[in-house]
Homo-oligomer: A and B are copies of this chain.
Amino acid sequence: MAQPVLLCESNAMFENIIYAGSGLGRASHLRRDAGHLAQLAGESRALLAPMWKGNSLVLTGAEPRAVLLPAAGLREAMAAAAETVFLGLMDGAPVFASDLTPLSDDEAGPSLGPGTAFVNLREIGPVLPGREAAILAQAKGLLHWHRQARFCGACGSPTFSEQGGHQRRCTQPGCSTVVFPRTDPAVIMLVIDENRHRALLGRAPRFPAGMYATLAGFVEPGETLEEAVAREVAEEAGIEVDRVIYAGSQPWPFPASLMLAFFARARSFKITRDAHELEDVRWFTRDEVLAFESKGMFLPRRDSIAFQLISRWLEQG
């Protein structure tokens, strides 16, 4: 019997997906009972991931670590929190995250523990242990969403948190719209020529000078991922692609994306750049990419799936 059902042995191509792999059991069944959740938060083993003004609490130093504090010592801070959410269970211990933004500089500073600081996850994520970066990413994504969903989009009334922070409901009885944490799917793709010798890299105006990366863009309503890949490559570079192959995914909580990574095969080579989206876009050989450093050019940061797509291609040379 042929075995074509699973077309690939595996296409979880990437071993090092930062912001994934928290190892936390989300225990979504526990979200249903608010009373039980409150009781869990009061347990002595309950842990809290504090955030403040969009930043995550870490132990700074040569080897930075995510900080989870015993919730028992933070009852006052949690009572003042803009929002507290239930993340899941870690080795049986319930883990929560709180947005402590209402605390003053004095309150949120030294009182949360020696050697700790609130740091932008975007800066520190790549050097944290993977599981820890993932827990902070989950907290950051969820708490960011709460700040953006305080009012009902349909009627403008305030909303309130339910299900341990995994949904919000409109307070206006005639509306009662329920909304869920938002995640925006984005496609990111390395376009390769037929012989796999050259890849298409570009730079958006917002990139740091010298950086070249894969193309990317958000999925729009009414298209498949594969259509989104082809549309973005055609729009930004005027290149047609024909084989669009899924390579992996990465949560990217800056602020709420899900990166869906693809390889795509170019059917055409003449570039027509969209000057609004890209400042430059070119075909590069492996040797040219490997010589980036000598020319003051560089690839995206190592925690990005863009880097992983490009590395995978480079390794095949």
Which B residues are in CB contact (< 8 Å) with A7? Answer: 8-11, 13, 245, 247
Cβ of A236 to closest chain B Cβ, rounded Å: 10
Closest to A199 in B: B5
Q: Please determine whether A244 and B12 come into contact, CB atoms closer than 8 angstroms.
A: yes
CA distance A9 to B248 in the complex (A): 16
Which B residues are in CB contact (< 8 Å) with A312? Answer: 5
Q: Please determine whether A221 and B251 come into contact, CB atoms closer than 8 angstroms.
A: yes
Q: Please determine whether B152 and A151 come into contact, CB atoms closer than 8 angstroms.
A: yes
Closest to A20 in B: B224
Instruction: State which of A180-188, A204-212, A291-299 sits at the interface with chain B.
Output: A180-188
Query: What per-residue 1/0 map shows which CB atoms of A187-201 lie under 8 Å from chain B?
Result: 000001000100000
Which B residues are in CB contact (< 8 Å) with A258? Answer: 185, 219, 225
A155, CB-defined interface residue at 8 Å:
yes
Instruction: Report which A residues bind B (CB closer than 8 A).
Output: 1-13, 17, 19-22, 26, 28-29, 32, 134-135, 137-139, 141-142, 145, 147-159, 166, 177, 179-185, 192, 196, 218-227, 231, 235, 243-251, 253, 256, 258, 260, 263, 265, 274, 276, 312-313, 316
Q: By CB atoms of chain B within 10 A, which of A20, A32, A142, A177 has the most?
A: A20
Closest to A234 in B: B25
CA distance A248 to B159 in the complex (A): 35
Q: Please determine whether A220 and B4 come into contact, CB atoms closer than 8 angstroms.
A: no
Q: Please determine whether B253 and A20 come into contact, CB atoms closer than 8 angstroms.
A: no
Cβ of A190 to closest chain B Cβ, rounded Å: 9
CA distance A137 to B235 in the complex (A): 22
Cβ of A302 to closest chain B Cβ, rounded Å: 17
CA distance A280 to B217 in the complex (A): 39
Q: Please determine whether A226 and B251 come into contact, CB atoms closer than 8 angstroms.
A: no
Which B residues are in CB contact (< 8 Å) with A248? Answer: 224, 226
- Cβ-neighbour of A183 out of B17, B134, B139, B219 (below 8 A): B219
Closest to A181 in B: B221
CA distance A153 to B156 in the complex (A): 8
Q: Please determine whether A221 and B152 come into contact, CB atoms closer than 8 angstroms.
A: no
CA distance A156 to B6 in the complex (A): 48
Q: What are 19 A-to-B residue pairs whose CB atoms are below 8 Å?
A: A6-B243, A12-B226, A21-B227, A22-B222, A29-B235, A29-B274, A138-B222, A150-B156, A151-B152, A151-B155, A156-B156, A182-B184, A185-B185, A221-B251, A222-B253, A224-B250, A225-B260, A226-B248, A246-B246
